[in-house]
Structure 1
Protein backbone atom coordinates (compact mmCIF):
# COMPACT_ATOMS: atom_id res chain seq x y z
CA UNK A 1 0.00 0.00 0.00
CA UNK A 2 2.98 2.34 0.52
CA UNK A 3 5.25 3.25 -2.35
CA UNK A 4 8.49 5.17 -2.62
CA UNK A 5 7.01 7.86 -4.87
CA UNK A 6 3.86 9.91 -4.39
CA UNK A 7 1.62 12.03 -6.54
CA UNK A 8 0.09 14.75 -4.35
CA UNK A 9 -2.89 16.43 -6.02
CA UNK A 10 -5.45 18.92 -4.70
CA UNK A 11 -8.66 20.19 -6.26
CA UNK A 12 -11.64 22.27 -5.19
CA UNK A 13 -14.98 21.16 -6.69
CA UNK A 14 -17.04 23.49 -8.88
CA UNK A 15 -19.64 25.42 -6.88
CA UNK A 16 -22.77 23.36 -6.33
CA UNK A 17 -21.21 20.16 -7.69
CA UNK A 18 -19.44 18.69 -4.67
CA UNK A 19 -21.51 15.49 -4.58
CA UNK A 20 -20.91 14.93 -8.29
CA UNK A 21 -17.20 15.70 -7.81
CA UNK A 22 -16.84 13.04 -5.11
CA UNK A 23 -18.69 10.42 -7.15
CA UNK A 24 -16.45 11.14 -10.15
CA UNK A 25 -13.29 11.04 -8.05
CA UNK A 26 -14.18 7.85 -6.19
CA UNK A 27 -15.74 5.91 -9.05
CA UNK A 28 -13.71 7.03 -12.08
CA UNK A 29 -10.70 9.25 -11.45
CA UNK A 30 -8.94 7.25 -8.72
CA UNK A 31 -9.85 3.71 -9.90
CA UNK A 32 -8.45 4.37 -13.38
CA UNK A 33 -5.16 5.56 -11.94
CA UNK A 34 -4.64 2.87 -9.31
CA UNK A 35 -5.37 0.36 -12.06
CA UNK A 36 -2.18 1.42 -13.85
CA UNK A 37 0.78 -0.94 -13.17
CA UNK A 38 3.12 0.71 -10.68
CA UNK A 39 0.38 2.47 -8.72
CA UNK A 40 0.15 0.92 -5.26
CA UNK A 41 -2.78 2.74 -3.62
CA UNK A 42 -4.47 6.09 -3.14
CA UNK A 43 -6.23 7.89 -0.33
CA UNK A 44 -8.38 11.01 -0.32
CA UNK A 45 -8.47 13.78 2.27
CA UNK A 46 -10.33 16.99 3.09
CA UNK A 47 -8.45 20.25 3.79
CA UNK A 48 -9.36 21.34 7.34
CA UNK A 49 -8.04 24.90 7.06
CA UNK A 50 -10.39 27.74 7.94
CA UNK A 51 -12.63 28.41 4.97
CA UNK A 52 -10.93 25.68 2.91
CA UNK A 53 -13.06 23.83 0.38
CA UNK A 54 -10.39 21.71 -1.27
CA UNK A 55 -9.72 17.99 -1.34
CA UNK A 56 -6.47 16.05 -1.62
CA UNK A 57 -5.54 12.73 -3.16
CA UNK A 58 -2.20 11.11 -2.36
CA UNK A 59 -1.26 8.36 -4.80
CA UNK A 60 1.40 5.83 -3.80
CA UNK A 61 3.62 4.56 -6.64
CA UNK A 62 6.63 2.30 -7.10
CA UNK A 63 8.67 4.90 -9.00
CA UNK A 64 8.27 8.26 -10.78
CA UNK A 65 8.61 6.55 -14.17
CA UNK A 66 5.14 5.09 -13.65
CA UNK A 67 3.82 8.48 -14.76
CA UNK A 68 5.74 8.11 -18.03
CA UNK A 69 4.39 4.66 -18.83
CA UNK A 70 2.20 3.93 -21.82
CA UNK A 71 -0.54 2.62 -19.51
CA UNK A 72 -0.68 5.90 -17.61
CA UNK A 73 -0.49 7.85 -20.87
CA UNK A 74 -3.54 5.94 -22.08
CA UNK A 75 -5.51 6.91 -18.96
CA UNK A 76 -4.41 10.53 -18.94
CA UNK A 77 -4.58 11.04 -22.70
CA UNK A 78 -8.09 9.68 -23.23
CA UNK A 79 -10.28 11.32 -20.57
CA UNK A 80 -14.02 10.73 -20.52
CA UNK A 81 -16.43 13.57 -21.23
CA UNK A 82 -17.12 13.83 -17.49
CA UNK A 83 -13.40 14.03 -16.69
CA UNK A 84 -12.87 16.75 -19.28
CA UNK A 85 -15.78 18.72 -17.87
CA UNK A 86 -14.76 18.30 -14.24
CA UNK A 87 -11.09 19.17 -14.78
CA UNK A 88 -12.09 22.24 -16.78
CA UNK A 89 -14.15 23.53 -13.86
CA UNK A 90 -12.23 22.64 -10.68
CA UNK A 91 -10.06 25.24 -8.94
CA UNK A 92 -7.26 25.23 -6.37
CA UNK A 93 -5.35 22.69 -8.46
CA UNK A 94 -1.97 21.42 -7.27
CA UNK A 95 0.10 18.53 -8.57
CA UNK A 96 3.45 17.46 -7.13
CA UNK A 97 5.62 14.39 -7.63
CA UNK A 98 7.76 13.40 -4.65
CA UNK A 99 10.42 10.75 -4.17
CA UNK A 100 10.73 9.45 -0.62
CA UNK A 101 14.06 10.23 1.00
CA UNK A 102 13.36 9.14 4.59
CA UNK A 103 10.65 7.52 6.68
CA UNK A 104 10.30 7.02 10.42
CA UNK A 105 7.48 5.07 12.07
CA UNK A 106 6.51 4.69 15.69
CA UNK A 107 6.88 0.93 15.27
CA UNK A 108 8.11 -0.93 12.20
CA UNK A 109 5.28 -3.43 12.47
CA UNK A 110 2.67 -0.67 12.52
CA UNK A 111 3.23 0.69 9.01
CA UNK A 112 -0.27 -0.01 7.62
CA UNK A 113 -1.95 1.64 10.60
CA UNK A 114 0.37 4.65 10.37
CA UNK A 115 -0.22 5.07 6.63
CA UNK A 116 -3.96 5.17 7.24
CA UNK A 117 -3.82 7.64 10.10
CA UNK A 118 -6.92 9.87 10.32
CA UNK A 119 -4.94 13.10 9.91
CA UNK A 120 -2.23 14.09 7.46
CA UNK A 121 -0.09 17.13 8.25
CA UNK A 122 1.77 18.39 5.18
CA UNK A 123 4.77 20.71 5.51
CA UNK A 124 6.34 22.30 2.42
CA UNK A 125 9.61 24.19 2.01
CA UNK A 126 11.55 25.76 -0.82
CA UNK A 127 15.12 25.26 0.36
CA UNK A 128 18.10 26.82 -1.45
CA UNK A 129 20.30 24.10 -2.93
CA UNK A 130 23.28 25.12 -0.84
CA UNK A 131 21.20 24.79 2.37
CA UNK A 132 19.54 21.45 1.62
CA UNK A 133 22.16 19.35 3.41
CA UNK A 134 21.82 21.31 6.66
CA UNK A 135 18.01 21.44 6.38
CA UNK A 136 17.74 17.70 5.75
CA UNK A 137 20.11 16.85 8.59
CA UNK A 138 18.15 19.08 10.99
CA UNK A 139 14.85 17.50 10.03
CA UNK A 140 16.11 13.93 10.39
CA UNK A 141 18.46 14.23 13.36
CA UNK A 142 16.81 16.94 15.44
CA UNK A 143 13.21 17.64 14.43
CA UNK A 144 11.65 14.25 13.71
CA UNK A 145 12.99 12.41 16.80
CA UNK A 146 11.50 15.07 19.06
CA UNK A 147 8.14 15.09 17.27
CA UNK A 148 7.95 11.32 17.65
CA UNK A 149 7.98 11.71 21.42
CA UNK A 150 4.26 12.42 21.04
CA UNK A 151 2.31 9.15 21.03
CA UNK A 152 -0.02 10.66 18.43
CA UNK A 153 2.83 11.15 15.94
CA UNK A 154 2.66 7.84 14.07
CA UNK A 155 4.94 8.36 11.09
CA UNK A 156 6.96 11.00 9.22
CA UNK A 157 7.82 10.62 5.55
CA UNK A 158 10.06 13.09 3.77
CA UNK A 159 10.15 13.70 0.03
CA UNK A 160 12.26 15.46 -2.53
CA UNK A 161 9.91 17.16 -4.95
CA UNK A 162 11.02 16.49 -8.51
CA UNK A 163 8.19 18.22 -10.36
CA UNK A 164 5.05 20.12 -9.60
CA UNK A 165 2.87 23.18 -9.67
CA UNK A 166 1.90 25.86 -8.86
CA UNK A 167 4.75 26.70 -6.40
CA UNK A 168 8.45 25.77 -6.62
CA UNK A 169 8.71 23.62 -3.49
CA UNK A 170 11.53 21.10 -3.28
CA UNK A 171 10.92 19.54 0.14
CA UNK A 172 7.76 17.95 1.58
CA UNK A 173 7.21 16.22 4.91
CA UNK A 174 4.05 14.21 5.46
CA UNK A 175 3.23 13.65 9.12
CA UNK A 176 0.68 10.94 9.90
CA UNK A 177 -1.17 11.80 13.10
CA UNK A 178 -3.54 9.84 15.32
CA UNK A 179 -5.04 13.02 16.76
CA UNK A 180 -4.88 16.78 16.19
CA UNK A 181 -3.66 17.11 19.78
CA UNK A 182 -0.21 16.19 18.45
CA UNK A 183 0.07 19.68 16.93
CA UNK A 184 -0.23 21.32 20.34
CA UNK A 185 1.74 18.70 22.26
CA UNK A 186 4.82 19.33 24.41
CA UNK A 187 6.76 17.21 21.92
CA UNK A 188 6.03 19.63 19.08
CA UNK A 189 6.80 22.66 21.23
CA UNK A 190 10.12 21.06 22.15
CA UNK A 191 10.89 20.26 18.51
CA UNK A 192 10.23 23.86 17.48
CA UNK A 193 12.43 25.35 20.20
CA UNK A 194 15.83 23.77 19.55
CA UNK A 195 18.93 25.86 18.78
CA UNK A 196 19.35 24.12 15.42
CA UNK A 197 15.83 25.05 14.33
CA UNK A 198 16.31 28.57 15.68
CA UNK A 199 19.41 29.01 13.56
CA UNK A 200 17.62 27.84 10.41
CA UNK A 201 14.48 29.85 11.20
CA UNK A 202 16.58 33.04 11.22
CA UNK A 203 17.40 32.57 7.53
CA UNK A 204 15.08 34.42 5.11
CA UNK A 205 14.13 31.32 3.07
CA UNK A 206 12.83 29.40 6.11
CA UNK A 207 9.12 29.90 5.47
CA UNK A 208 7.13 26.69 5.58
CA UNK A 209 3.63 26.14 4.25
CA UNK A 210 1.49 24.01 6.55
CA UNK A 211 -1.82 22.18 5.94
CA UNK A 212 -3.83 19.65 7.94
CA UNK A 213 -5.97 17.16 6.04
CA UNK A 214 -8.62 14.83 7.40
CA UNK A 215 -9.00 11.38 5.83
CA UNK A 216 -12.12 11.32 3.69
CA UNK A 217 -12.31 7.84 2.21
CA UNK A 218 -10.79 4.40 2.86
CA UNK A 219 -7.62 3.69 0.93
CA UNK A 220 -8.23 2.53 -2.64
CA UNK A 221 -6.05 -0.25 -4.03
CA UNK A 222 -5.76 -1.93 -7.44
CA UNK A 223 -8.40 -4.52 -8.19
CA UNK A 224 -5.79 -6.77 -9.85
Structure 2
Protein backbone atom coordinates (compact mmCIF):
# COMPACT_ATOMS: atom_id res chain seq x y z
CA UNK A 1 0.00 0.00 0.00
CA UNK A 2 0.94 3.60 -0.54
CA UNK A 3 -1.01 6.00 1.73
CA UNK A 4 -0.33 9.01 -0.48
CA UNK A 5 -0.76 12.64 0.43
CA UNK A 6 -4.36 12.27 1.66
CA UNK A 7 -3.63 9.73 4.42
CA UNK A 8 -0.97 10.56 7.00
CA UNK A 9 1.52 7.88 8.03
CA UNK A 10 0.36 8.09 11.65
CA UNK A 11 -3.24 7.51 10.58
CA UNK A 12 -2.23 4.73 8.21
CA UNK A 13 -0.16 2.83 10.78
CA UNK A 14 -2.71 3.22 13.57
CA UNK A 15 -5.53 1.87 11.38
CA UNK A 16 -3.57 -0.96 9.76
CA UNK A 17 -1.79 -2.17 12.88
CA UNK A 18 -4.62 -1.79 15.37
CA UNK A 19 -7.71 -2.57 13.27
CA UNK A 20 -7.03 -4.13 9.86
CA UNK A 21 -4.60 -6.87 10.93
CA UNK A 22 -6.17 -7.77 14.32
CA UNK A 23 -9.57 -8.39 12.69
CA UNK A 24 -7.95 -11.18 10.66
CA UNK A 25 -5.55 -12.65 13.18
CA UNK A 26 -8.01 -12.78 16.04
CA UNK A 27 -10.84 -14.53 14.19
CA UNK A 28 -9.42 -16.47 11.21
CA UNK A 29 -7.19 -19.48 12.02
CA UNK A 30 -6.32 -19.73 8.31
CA UNK A 31 -4.00 -16.75 8.83
CA UNK A 32 -0.79 -18.52 9.93
CA UNK A 33 1.51 -15.49 9.99
CA UNK A 34 1.47 -11.74 9.43
CA UNK A 35 4.18 -9.13 9.07
CA UNK A 36 4.46 -5.59 7.80
CA UNK A 37 7.42 -4.27 5.84
CA UNK A 38 8.85 -0.92 4.73
CA UNK A 39 9.67 -1.08 1.03
CA UNK A 40 13.27 0.10 0.64
CA UNK A 41 13.77 -0.36 -3.10
CA UNK A 42 11.93 -1.29 -6.27
CA UNK A 43 12.88 -2.10 -9.86
CA UNK A 44 10.32 -2.25 -12.68
CA UNK A 45 10.45 -2.45 -16.48
CA UNK A 46 10.83 0.99 -18.02
CA UNK A 47 7.77 0.43 -20.23
CA UNK A 48 5.37 -0.22 -17.34
CA UNK A 49 2.27 2.01 -17.35
CA UNK A 50 2.11 2.26 -13.56
CA UNK A 51 2.57 5.61 -11.88
CA UNK A 52 5.52 5.96 -9.49
CA UNK A 53 3.18 5.50 -6.52
CA UNK A 54 1.88 2.20 -7.92
CA UNK A 55 5.35 1.01 -8.92
CA UNK A 56 6.92 1.61 -5.54
CA UNK A 57 4.37 1.65 -2.72
CA UNK A 58 6.04 2.42 0.58
CA UNK A 59 4.51 -0.34 2.68
CA UNK A 60 3.75 -4.03 2.36
CA UNK A 61 1.98 -6.64 4.47
CA UNK A 62 2.64 -10.35 3.95
CA UNK A 63 0.37 -13.10 5.22
CA UNK A 64 0.82 -16.86 5.07
CA UNK A 65 -2.63 -18.42 4.71
CA UNK A 66 -3.40 -22.14 4.91
CA UNK A 67 -5.97 -22.03 2.09
CA UNK A 68 -7.00 -19.47 -0.52
CA UNK A 69 -10.56 -20.79 -0.10
CA UNK A 70 -10.88 -18.47 2.90
CA UNK A 71 -11.27 -15.52 0.52
CA UNK A 72 -14.70 -16.82 -0.54
CA UNK A 73 -15.77 -17.71 2.99
CA UNK A 74 -18.27 -15.49 4.75
CA UNK A 75 -15.97 -15.27 7.75
CA UNK A 76 -13.56 -13.33 5.52
CA UNK A 77 -15.89 -11.51 3.10
CA UNK A 78 -17.76 -9.90 5.97
CA UNK A 79 -14.57 -8.05 6.89
CA UNK A 80 -14.92 -6.19 3.60
CA UNK A 81 -18.72 -5.99 3.49
CA UNK A 82 -19.00 -4.78 7.08
CA UNK A 83 -15.87 -2.65 7.30
CA UNK A 84 -15.84 0.19 9.77
CA UNK A 85 -16.53 3.79 8.83
CA UNK A 86 -12.86 4.57 9.44
CA UNK A 87 -11.62 1.83 7.12
CA UNK A 88 -14.10 2.82 4.40
CA UNK A 89 -12.93 6.42 4.69
CA UNK A 90 -9.25 5.47 4.42
CA UNK A 91 -9.90 3.27 1.38
CA UNK A 92 -11.63 6.21 -0.25
CA UNK A 93 -8.55 8.41 0.27
CA UNK A 94 -5.63 6.00 -0.09
CA UNK A 95 -3.35 6.27 -3.13
CA UNK A 96 -2.64 2.59 -3.82
CA UNK A 97 -3.88 -0.80 -2.63
CA UNK A 98 -2.05 -3.51 -4.58
CA UNK A 99 -3.56 -6.79 -3.35
CA UNK A 100 -2.32 -10.20 -4.52
CA UNK A 101 -3.15 -13.80 -3.64
CA UNK A 102 -0.70 -16.55 -4.52
CA UNK A 103 -0.47 -20.33 -4.40
CA UNK A 104 2.71 -21.80 -2.91
CA UNK A 105 4.54 -24.05 -5.39
CA UNK A 106 8.02 -24.34 -3.82
CA UNK A 107 9.20 -23.91 -0.24
CA UNK A 108 12.83 -24.39 0.81
CA UNK A 109 11.53 -25.48 4.21
CA UNK A 110 10.31 -28.65 2.48
CA UNK A 111 13.50 -29.18 0.47
CA UNK A 112 15.49 -31.96 2.15
CA UNK A 113 18.72 -30.68 0.57
CA UNK A 114 18.38 -27.47 2.56
CA UNK A 115 16.28 -28.06 5.68
CA UNK A 116 14.86 -31.00 7.54
CA UNK A 117 11.37 -31.58 6.04
CA UNK A 118 8.40 -29.58 7.33
CA UNK A 119 10.39 -26.99 9.31
CA UNK A 120 7.37 -24.68 9.09
CA UNK A 121 4.82 -26.55 6.97
CA UNK A 122 2.10 -23.93 7.51
CA UNK A 123 2.15 -24.19 11.27
CA UNK A 124 1.52 -20.80 12.91
CA UNK A 125 4.65 -18.67 12.62
CA UNK A 126 5.08 -16.51 15.69
CA UNK A 127 6.09 -12.88 15.96
CA UNK A 128 9.43 -13.89 17.51
CA UNK A 129 10.23 -16.28 14.64
CA UNK A 130 9.51 -13.65 12.00
CA UNK A 131 11.60 -11.06 13.82
CA UNK A 132 14.47 -13.53 14.05
CA UNK A 133 14.31 -14.96 10.52
CA UNK A 134 12.72 -12.40 8.18
CA UNK A 135 14.18 -8.99 8.91
CA UNK A 136 15.01 -8.39 5.24
CA UNK A 137 12.97 -9.69 2.31
CA UNK A 138 13.58 -9.71 -1.43
CA UNK A 139 10.39 -10.16 -3.45
CA UNK A 140 11.14 -10.90 -7.10
CA UNK A 141 8.25 -11.18 -9.54
CA UNK A 142 9.09 -12.66 -12.92
CA UNK A 143 7.44 -14.15 -15.99
CA UNK A 144 9.46 -15.69 -18.82
CA UNK A 145 8.55 -17.23 -22.18
CA UNK A 146 9.26 -20.71 -20.69
CA UNK A 147 7.63 -21.14 -17.30
CA UNK A 148 8.76 -24.76 -16.95
CA UNK A 149 12.43 -23.93 -17.45
CA UNK A 150 12.20 -21.04 -14.98
CA UNK A 151 10.55 -23.26 -12.35
CA UNK A 152 13.05 -26.07 -12.82
CA UNK A 153 16.01 -23.69 -12.52
CA UNK A 154 14.60 -22.03 -9.40
CA UNK A 155 13.63 -25.22 -7.59
CA UNK A 156 16.68 -27.30 -8.48
CA UNK A 157 19.49 -24.73 -8.48
CA UNK A 158 18.69 -21.18 -7.46
CA UNK A 159 17.09 -21.73 -4.05
CA UNK A 160 19.81 -24.20 -3.10
CA UNK A 161 22.59 -21.77 -4.01
CA UNK A 162 20.88 -18.91 -2.17
CA UNK A 163 20.74 -21.09 0.95
CA UNK A 164 24.54 -20.69 1.11
CA UNK A 165 24.27 -16.89 1.46
CA UNK A 166 25.12 -15.67 4.99
CA UNK A 167 21.92 -14.67 6.77
CA UNK A 168 19.57 -16.51 4.39
CA UNK A 169 16.66 -18.32 6.08
CA UNK A 170 14.07 -19.25 3.45
CA UNK A 171 13.08 -19.05 -0.24
CA UNK A 172 9.61 -19.66 -1.60
CA UNK A 173 8.09 -19.53 -5.08
CA UNK A 174 4.45 -18.69 -5.71
CA UNK A 175 2.03 -18.64 -8.62
CA UNK A 176 -0.42 -15.74 -8.93
CA UNK A 177 -4.05 -16.68 -8.26
CA UNK A 178 -5.80 -13.31 -8.13
CA UNK A 179 -4.88 -9.64 -7.88
CA UNK A 180 -6.13 -6.11 -8.22
CA UNK A 181 -4.80 -2.57 -7.91
CA UNK A 182 -7.11 0.19 -6.69
CA UNK A 183 -6.75 3.67 -5.25
CA UNK A 184 -6.80 7.16 -6.70
CA UNK A 185 -3.25 6.76 -8.09
CA UNK A 186 -4.04 3.49 -9.86
CA UNK A 187 -4.74 3.24 -13.59
CA UNK A 188 -8.50 3.51 -14.13
CA UNK A 189 -8.43 0.92 -16.97
CA UNK A 190 -6.93 -1.71 -14.64
CA UNK A 191 -3.66 -1.99 -16.53
CA UNK A 192 -1.58 -1.94 -13.32
CA UNK A 193 -2.92 -5.35 -12.26
CA UNK A 194 -2.17 -6.80 -15.70
CA UNK A 195 1.50 -5.87 -15.34
CA UNK A 196 1.98 -8.14 -12.32
CA UNK A 197 4.18 -11.16 -13.23
CA UNK A 198 2.73 -14.66 -12.89
CA UNK A 199 5.41 -15.93 -10.50
CA UNK A 200 6.75 -14.44 -7.28
CA UNK A 201 9.90 -15.51 -5.43
CA UNK A 202 10.23 -14.43 -1.80
CA UNK A 203 13.64 -14.68 -0.13
CA UNK A 204 14.09 -14.01 3.60
CA UNK A 205 17.27 -12.97 5.42
CA UNK A 206 18.44 -12.01 8.89
CA UNK A 207 20.61 -9.19 7.52
CA UNK A 208 19.99 -6.40 5.04
CA UNK A 209 23.00 -6.77 2.76
CA UNK A 210 22.90 -10.26 1.24
CA UNK A 211 23.43 -8.88 -2.28
CA UNK A 212 26.96 -7.80 -1.37
CA UNK A 213 28.16 -11.33 -0.62
CA UNK A 214 30.06 -13.55 -3.03
CA UNK A 215 27.58 -16.36 -2.40
CA UNK A 216 24.68 -14.19 -3.57
CA UNK A 217 26.53 -13.04 -6.67
CA UNK A 218 27.42 -16.65 -7.50
CA UNK A 219 23.78 -17.76 -7.15
CA UNK A 220 22.72 -15.07 -9.64
CA UNK A 221 25.44 -15.77 -12.20
CA UNK A 222 25.19 -19.37 -13.43
CA UNK A 223 24.87 -20.94 -16.86
CA UNK A 224 21.45 -22.32 -16.00
CA UNK A 225 20.17 -18.90 -14.94
CA UNK A 226 21.42 -17.47 -18.25
CA UNK A 227 19.48 -20.14 -20.13
CA UNK A 228 16.31 -19.62 -18.08
CA UNK A 229 16.34 -15.82 -18.38
CA UNK A 230 18.00 -15.53 -21.76
CA UNK A 231 20.99 -13.37 -22.78
CA UNK A 232 20.53 -9.95 -21.15
CA UNK A 233 17.16 -11.12 -19.84
CA UNK A 234 15.67 -11.55 -23.32
CA UNK A 235 13.35 -14.35 -22.17
CA UNK A 236 11.79 -12.20 -19.46
CA UNK A 237 8.25 -11.09 -20.29
CA UNK A 238 7.47 -9.28 -17.03
CA UNK A 239 9.61 -8.42 -14.04
CA UNK A 240 9.59 -6.52 -10.78
CA UNK A 241 11.84 -6.59 -7.72
CA UNK A 242 11.29 -5.14 -4.28
CA UNK A 243 13.45 -5.11 -1.16
CA UNK A 244 11.80 -4.70 2.23
CA UNK A 245 12.80 -4.18 5.85
CA UNK A 246 10.68 -5.66 8.63
CA UNK A 247 8.51 -2.99 10.27
CA UNK A 248 6.40 -5.10 12.63
CA UNK A 249 5.50 -8.76 13.08
CA UNK A 250 2.37 -10.20 14.69
CA UNK A 251 1.31 -13.38 16.43
CA UNK A 252 -1.49 -15.22 14.54
CA UNK A 253 -3.75 -15.35 17.60
CA UNK A 254 -6.58 -17.55 16.35
CA UNK A 255 -4.25 -20.02 14.63
CA UNK A 256 -2.12 -20.35 17.77
CA UNK A 257 -5.22 -21.18 19.80
CA UNK A 258 -6.20 -24.14 17.61
CA UNK A 259 -6.48 -27.46 19.40
Q: TM-score higher than 0.5 here?
A: yes
Distance across 2 between alignment mates of 1:77 and 1:157: 32
Distance across 2 between alignment mates of 1:66 and 1:48: 31
1:91-115 per-residue CA deviation (whole Å, 9 max, x = no partner) reads 2321111111111145448655468
The yes-or-no answer on 1:65 pairing with 2:69 is yes
Distance across 2 between alignment mates of 1:156 and 1:169: 18
List alignment gaps of at least 5 residues for structure 2.
Answer: 43-51, 181-192
List alignment gaps of at least 5 residues for structure 1.
Answer: 1-10
- Kindly report the root-mean-square deviation, in angstroms, between the aligned alpha carbons of the 2 structures: 2.3
Distance 1:168 1:210, change over 3 A: closer
User: What's the secondary structure of 1:187's corresponding residue?
Assistant: helix
Distance across 2 between alignment mates of 1:32 and 1:80: 11
Tell me the residue number matched to 1:161.
176
The yes-or-no answer on 1:17 pairing with 2:8 is yes
TM-score normalised by length of structure 1: 0.85
User: What's the secondary structure of 2:144's corresponding residue?
Assistant: coil
Distance across 2 between alignment mates of 1:94 and 1:85: 17
Greater RCO between the two (CA within 8 Å, min separation 6)? 2
1:180 positional shift: 2.0
Distance across 2 between alignment mates of 1:184 and 1:27: 36
Instruction: Identify the match of residue 92 of structure 1 among 83, 91, 96.
Output: 96
TM-score normalised by length of structure 2: 0.74
Equivalences for residues 12-161 of structure 1 within 5 A: 12-15=2-5, 17-34=8-25, 35-49=27-41, 54-105=58-109, 107-108=115-116, 111=120, 113=129, 116-128=133-145, 131-161=146-176
Distance across 1 between alignment mates of 2:196 and 2:240: 12
Alignment size in residue pairs: 212
Over 6 Å off, 4+ runs: none
User: What's the secondary structure of 1:82's corresponding residue?
Assistant: helix
Instruction: Identify the match of residue 209 of structure 2 among 159, 181, 194.
Output: 181
